[in-house]
Structures are given as structure tokens and as C-alpha cells.
Chains A and B, each alone.
Chain A
């Protein structure tokens, strides 16, 4: 039985889009690559995002115009779908980061 309480689902949902958009800020990436970067940053065991959550999230962010997808041949020559951040996505990410900074400041004050 998994006894790790993990992060509260509601909290995580609000944070995930920011985390994923932030991964794409530097360069376009594909689903697996995004997951690897998240694992490197936060550790795979943190269970920040699972495959079943990541792809619906990417599709939703694309539908909202924050991401653009395009296809490029992958390692095996198969079509691989890359995502990149749009200008709208950059604006959104900037706003979200500012919000999170304010929340963090509030939390820090509360904790201290």
C-alpha cells in the first residue's frame, strides 16, 4: 500500500500547468522529454505528474492557445509531436509566476 501522502490533488492541479509551461520556456519538447525534465527538477519519486495526466494537460493547454504542437521525425523515424510555448503562453506563464511569487511570499510570512 502506498503510504506516501503526496501533494494534495487540488493544489497540484493549479500548479501543474505552470510547471509544464515553464519546462517549455527554454525550448520545444515532446511529452516524454517534458516528463524527464520534470523528473530531473523535482525527482521522479515526487510523483508530480503522471503520463495519464500530462497528455490531457498538454492538449488542454494547446486548445487554449498557450502551446503549439508540430510534428518532427523521432529517433525511429516515427512522427513525434513537439510542443512549444506561444506568445500567449508566455504571457500566461509570466502572470502565473507572478501569482505564485505572491502566494509564496504570503506562505512564508504565515510560516514564520
Chain B
């Protein structure tokens, strides 16, 4: 399973190499235990490399030879299984979530096709195709997407492209309307599938599937197209219609609001009040419902809270 979760990527991240054969050999073995692309594994290996080298330096300072110090450092780090297990556990979730999402999306498209046009072949054939392609899509997605909570420093480098998906009230309202439309469509399909009303010649599994997915979609509402990115400069706020950059010095207040959605985390997660001073006089306020589905939600909220003055 481990081998399956990690496609063979040539070499271990060379920037982590120290030049010491004992240390580098250990790093290579550590790297083989990790899953994901080279980009994902690199920060783990680099951190381990820095740790080993620090131990080696300390022991050389205490009088050991470089070779002895390197061996001591490797022995000190001990069991790689425990170290690698946490990385794999975080990533396993990504693979599963992505795979299931892809399966459901494929199934949804297939059901629509079954309703709208006559699809050749039997339903089991298409169902099997859906599952296989869903697993492959999930695998591809999970392979390239980083594990939660392990991105490089956001505020210091400013190079890390990391977004937090949020919902503005109007976006959420539009999404609710859209999904209600889906549910209505799904209900009609289901009714047609069981031989009642419109589309009464549909195969009923297709109608049921559309209905089910519509309900799931309504519960999830998907990531709406409002994203914020935080870096050393401030908050970049991107919605469908505009992009604003709000410098840290412009922010008056960031506050977590307690509300019902704080308790019913999915799909909205946490509500944030972001108040800032625009270039013109006065102040603007945004209420943002932070998407709980984002693996980086807690960390990004912490960044915001940490940088901005508290209300």
C-alpha cells in the first residue's frame, strides 16, 4: 500500500543532502518511507536533515570525530516508522477524500448523461468505469496536493501560495439558490425514475443518484469563489469581481464570532469578522464564513488572528 501511495520519483530531495554518507544514507531511507511527490516530501526531509546535522555539530564540538558524530546522530533519531507514520496518516486522508469526491462527481456526470441521452452499455459497466476513473483521479489529486498543516512558513517567506476559502453572505445565498435548484432537479429526476411525473421513462438509479448528490451538494455548498491569501504584506482578498490587498497596518480588527455555525462546523466552519481601513475614509467590514473543509483552516485563522489587532 505504501508503495502504491508513493509513485517512484527520481532521487531524494538533493537540497537536503549534507555530503556525509552516513547522514545522507539515513535521509534516503527516511525519504523512501514518505508518500507523495518530491515537492511534498522535501520539507520533511529537509527538517530531518537539519536536525541530524545539528546533533552531529554538537557532538563534534564535544570531541567526537565527524564520522562518529554522524553515526551518533543517526542512532539518536532512531525509529523512522514513527516519524513517517504521521506524514502518511495526514496524506491518507487526502487520498481518500479526493478519491471519494472524484467518484461522486463522476457518478453525478454519468447520471446526468443517463438522464439526458441514451448511454450505450449497461449501468454496472458505467458504474465500474466511474469508480475506477474516480480512484485514478483521486490518486492524481492526492499525489500532488500537500498534507494539511505542513506548508512552509506563510508570513515569513511570502512565496507560499496558500488560500483560505471563505464565503461572503451574498455568495453563500447564491450557492444556496443554486443547490436548491439542483435538489429540485434531482427530485424531479427521482420522481421520473420511479415512474411518476416528468421523465417517467428514466432508469430509477440515475434519478436517485442525482437526488442524493444534490442533497450532499446542498450540505457541502462547495468552495465558493472567494479566497483570501495571507503573507508578510497582508491579506489578499479575491472574489469573483475584484481583488483587494489589505495591508496588515490597515486591519483594525479580526475577531472570531460565535454563532450556530461554530457548532455545526461543516460546511461553514468558523465565522470571522474582518474590519479594515480602506484608502478612503471610514472602515469596511467583512463577515467571512471560513470553509471547514479546508485542511489549513485552523492555521490560516491563527495567522490572521496573530497578525491583526484583536477586537
Chain A residues in the interface with B (C-beta under 8 A): 30-32, 50-53, 55-56, 59-60, 62-66, 68-72, 74-76, 78-82, 86-89
- A59-B86 in contact (CB<8A): yes
A101 CB to closest chain B CB, in angstroms?
25
B245-271 contacts to A (CB < 8 Å): none
A71 touches B50 (CB 8 A): no
Given known contacts A51-B51, A51-B78, A78-B49, A65 and B156 CB-to-CB distance under 8 angstroms: no
Secondary structure class of chain B's binding surface, majority of residues: helix
**Per-position contact with A for B271-311: 1 when CB-CB < 8 Å, else 0?**
00000000000000000000000010011011101100010
Complex alpha-carbon distance, A92 and B50, angstroms: 29
Q: Once bound together, how far apart are the Cα atoms of A82 and B157, in whole Å?
A: 12
Within 8 Å CB of A52, what residues of B? 77-83
A69 B302 Cβ-Cβ under 8 A: no
> Is residue B198 contacting chain A, with contact meaning CB distance below 8 A?
no
Inter-subunit contact B149/A62 (CB<8 Å): yes
Q: Inter-chain contact count A-B, CB under 8 Å?
A: 110
Q: How far is the CA of A5 from the CA of B154 in the complex (A)?
A: 41
Is A71 touching B157 in the complex (CB atoms < 8 A)?
yes
A62 lies within 8 A of B150 (CB): yes
Size of the chain B interface, CB-CB below 8 angstroms = 42
For A33, give the chain B residue with the smallest CB separation: B54
Instruction: Judge if B185 is at the interface, Cβ distance under 8 Å.
Output: no
Cross-chain contact of A56 among B76, B83, B301, B305 (Cβ < 8 A): B83
How many angstroms from the CA of A56 to the CA of B86 in the assembled complex?
A: 6
From residue B271, how far is it (CB to closest CB) to chain A in Å?
A: 16
**B51 contacts which of A32, A66, A71, A87 (Cβ < 8 Å)?**
A32
Which A residues touch B77, using CB under 8 A?
51-52
Contact present for B306 and A60 (CB under 8 Å): no
Question: How many Å lie between the Cα of A74 and that of B18 in the bound state?
Answer: 13
Min distance, Cβ B203 to any Cβ of chain A, angstroms: 44
Q: How many angstroms between the C-alpha atoms of A63 and B51 in the bound complex?
A: 21
B153 interface residue (CB < 8 Å to A): yes
Which residues of the other chain, B, contact A63 by a CB distance below 8 angstroms? 90, 148-150, 295, 298-299
B40-48, B97-105, B166-174: which lies at the interface? B40-48
Q: Are B302 and A86 in contact (CB under 8 A)?
A: yes
Q: What are the residues of chain B within 8 A of A30 when measuring CB–CB?
A: 50
The complex places the Cα of A74 from the Cα of B53 at a distance, in Å, of 11
B residues less than 8 Å from A65 (CB atoms): 298-299, 301-302
Q: Are A76 and B53 in contact (CB under 8 A)?
A: yes
> Does B216 touch A at the CB level, under 8 Å?
no
* Cα–Cα distance between A53 and B85 once the two chains are bound (Å): 10
Q: How far is the CA of A56 from the CA of B57 in the complex (A)?
A: 23
Residues of chain B within 8 A (CB-CB) of A53 are 82
**A75–B51 CA distance with the chains assembled, in angstroms:** 12
Name B300's closest neighbour in chain A (CB-CB). Answer: A65
